[in-house]
Amino acid sequence: MNPVVDIFIRTYSRDAEYHRYCMQSIAKFCKGFRQTVVVHRDDANQKIGYLAQQVTKLTAYKHTDADIVLITDSDTLVHEPVTPESFMREGKPIWMVTPWNDELRAHEGLMTWYRVMQEFFGEDPPYEMMRRHPFMIPVKVLEGLRDFCWQRHGRTIEEYPFDKGAFSEFNVIGMYAWLHHRDDFYWMNSEEECPPPKLTQFWSWDPVEKNLPAIKKILGQP
């Protein structure tokens, strides 16, 4: 029996226009998914909101009983026909990684995420795990990460990011999967294989008008 796969999106009011086009792209190009689960929350404090949206993704199991969630952001558009199998290889979710080469280590923003992983797990991360949207994640991995966080830190996965003030949900999920569910994923090293993405990622801080020609082209709209 094929696993039940839901698309999962956490959004907020500022992304409303991008989110509308994102949903249109899902309707146009996505087949074989059970449903799209959208969690909409607004937070007055920008920093709190940034961490809160990560917590929503980390706890996607609270919002769906699917076997697998395909998590993306509302400022992304699917730009070609896809099914759950489009994000799998050998029956396993693909997770793209990049070894920590000199180029990545020279990027202070990425090194912030390196230190987040290092502190959370107590060991050096072998890869940068946040390479591209979307992220296909078995729900059991998120549940396992929840339990790991409590056992190692004595804090819930909802509390820990706020304790630290800096967090990277997909890097932490990816490293947990590498350490504890390695055989459940197909690990794609971007230095060896990097197929074209199936989603176009925009930046929601840009006014949607700036990207409207590209958006309309993806959706086949005049």
Taken as a whole, the chain contains a residue count of 222
Q: Domain total for the chain?
A: 1
Reported as a single tens digit per residue, the pLDDT across 169-211 is 999 999 999 999 999 999 999 999 999 999 999 988 899 999 9
- Per the structure, the complete domain to which residue 100 belongs is given by 5-219
pLDDT tens for 26-36 read 999 999 999 99
C-alpha count within 13 angstroms, C-beta hemisphere, residue 184: 17
218 with 160: CB under 8 angstroms? no
pTM of the model: 0.94
Say whether pLDDT at 44 is over 60: no
The domain spanning residue 138 has which CATH number?
Answer: 3.90.550
How far apart (Å, rounded) are the C-alpha atoms in residues 97 and 159? 27
